[in-house]
């Protein structure tokens, strides 16, 4: 991903995101996952969201529907979002892995590594101000550090991911909180601090003054985006609102 992504308009970034989606749908970097998945769960929500969530990996329901967090943990995530006055259509939800690990086993380091580039491209194109990592896997991945969620939850920090500086905010994974009332209480408290974090806006971005202006793009072809498949991308997995 080139640094000039920051100079692109929202609609250009959205088109680029659809290209990443198309690429991801054909991905076979993890042979086992590619052979066993039903769908590639790219992520869903607002392609220009201020707030992005990163979970662990799709489960059975997500694999079935091709959408993240549609099972019980997703129900809790929806409830928590509603409590702070947000809907899924206002945020973007992704995962560390886009494919379901068979039998819901843990993601393997090589799989996380294979999928990392896709996640960074999503971050660079969506340009969120806040990334809320749900649980250990995404927190350790994006911080590049093995410190666990029990120590880090509820503590925001500024991080540069690819070309984007974000406020990273680790919280417990909703699936872990489903059956543990005390963890749910902590998750809820942390979640309710999201509005104040969002109110700070994006952190100062790293300076890339040396990046030249991109060459002007050729004029759009009127028929180029009218194909059914293209509309299918918009109406389906990306759910661009
Ligand atoms: N758990 C996750 O981490 N991601 C999902 O999409 C669903 C459950």
Nearest to 55 by CA among 155, 209, 170, 146: 170
Q: Is the CB of 101 under 6 A from ligand 1?
A: no
DSSP state of 23: H
**Are 239 and 44 in contact, with CB atoms under 8 Å apart?**
yes
The residue nearest atom 3 of ligand 1, judged by CA position, is 56
Q: What is the pTM of this model?
A: 0.88
139-173 pLDDT, tens digit per residue, is 999 999 999 999 999 999 999 999 999 999 999 99
For residue 238, tell me if it sits in a domain: no
For residue 170, tell me if it sits in a domain: yes
For residue 133, tell me if it sits in a domain: yes
| Cα 152 off chain centre by | 19
Cα 20 to Cα 18: distance, rounded to the nearest angstrom: 5
For residue 212, tell me if it sits in a domain: no
61-100 pLDDT, tens digit per residue, is 999 999 999 999 999 999 999 999 999 999 999 999 999 9
Question: By percentage, how much of the chain surpasses pLDDT 90?
Answer: 82
Nearest to 194 by CA among 167, 231, 175, 232: 167
* Arithmetic mean of pLDDT over the chain: 88
Q: What is the pLDDT of residue 213?
A: 53
| Lowest-pLDDT range of 2-6, 55-59, 103-107, 142-146 | 2-6
Q: Is the CB of 62 under 6 A from ligand 1?
A: yes
For residue 239, tell me if it sits in a domain: no
Domain enclosing residue 115, as ranges: 10-203
CA angle 103, 80, 187 (to 5 degrees): 75
What are φ and ψ of residue 196, in 5° steps? -70, -30
Q: Is the CB of 59 under 6 A from ligand 1?
A: yes
For residue 213, tell me if it sits in a domain: no
Q: What is the CATH number of the domain that holds 132?
A: 3.40.470.10
Burial string for 101-119 (b: 16+ CB within 10 Å, else e) reads beeeeebeeebbebbeebb
216 Cα–ligand 1 center, Å: 40
Cα distances (Å, whole numbers) of residue 100 to 37, 141, 178: 6, 18, 20
Q: How many domains does the chain have?
A: 1
Q: Is the CB of 156 under 6 A from ligand 1?
A: no
For residue 226, tell me if it sits in a domain: no
Q: Is the CB of 175 under 6 A from ligand 1?
A: yes
The residue nearest atom 7 of ligand 1, judged by CA position, is 69
DSSP state of 39: S
For residue 208, tell me if it sits in a domain: no
């Amino acid at each position: 991903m080139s640094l000039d992504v920051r100079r692109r308009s929202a609609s250009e970034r959205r088109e680029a995101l659809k290209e990443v989606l198309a690429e991801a749908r054909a991905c076979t970097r993890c042979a086992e996952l590619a052979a066993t998945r039903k769908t590639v769960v790219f992520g869903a929500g607002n392609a220009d969201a201020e707030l992005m969530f990163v979970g662990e990996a799709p489960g059975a329901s997500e694999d079935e529907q091709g959408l993240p967090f549609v099972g019980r943990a997703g129900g809790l995530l929806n409830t928590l979002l509603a409590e702070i006055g947000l809907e899924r259509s206002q945020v973007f939800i992704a995962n560390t892995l886009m494919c379901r690990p068979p039998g819901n086993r843990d993601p393997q380091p090589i799989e996380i590594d294979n999928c990392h580039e896709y996640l960074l491209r999503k971050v660079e194109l969506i340009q969120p101000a806040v990334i809320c990592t749900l649980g250990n896997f995404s927190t350790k991945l994006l911080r590049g550090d093995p410190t666990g969620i029990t120590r880090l939850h509820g503590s925001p920090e500024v991080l540069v991911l690819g070309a984007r500086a974000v406020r990273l905010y680790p919280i417990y994974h909703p699936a872990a909180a489903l059956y543990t009332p005390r963890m749910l209480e902590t998750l809820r408290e942390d979640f309710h601090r999201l509005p104040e974090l969002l109110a700070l806006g994006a952190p100062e971005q790293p300076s890339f003054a040396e990046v030249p202006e991109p060459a002007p793009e050729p004029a759009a072809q009127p028929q180029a985006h009218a194909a059914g498949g293209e509309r299918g991308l918009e109406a389906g997995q990306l759910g661009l609102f």
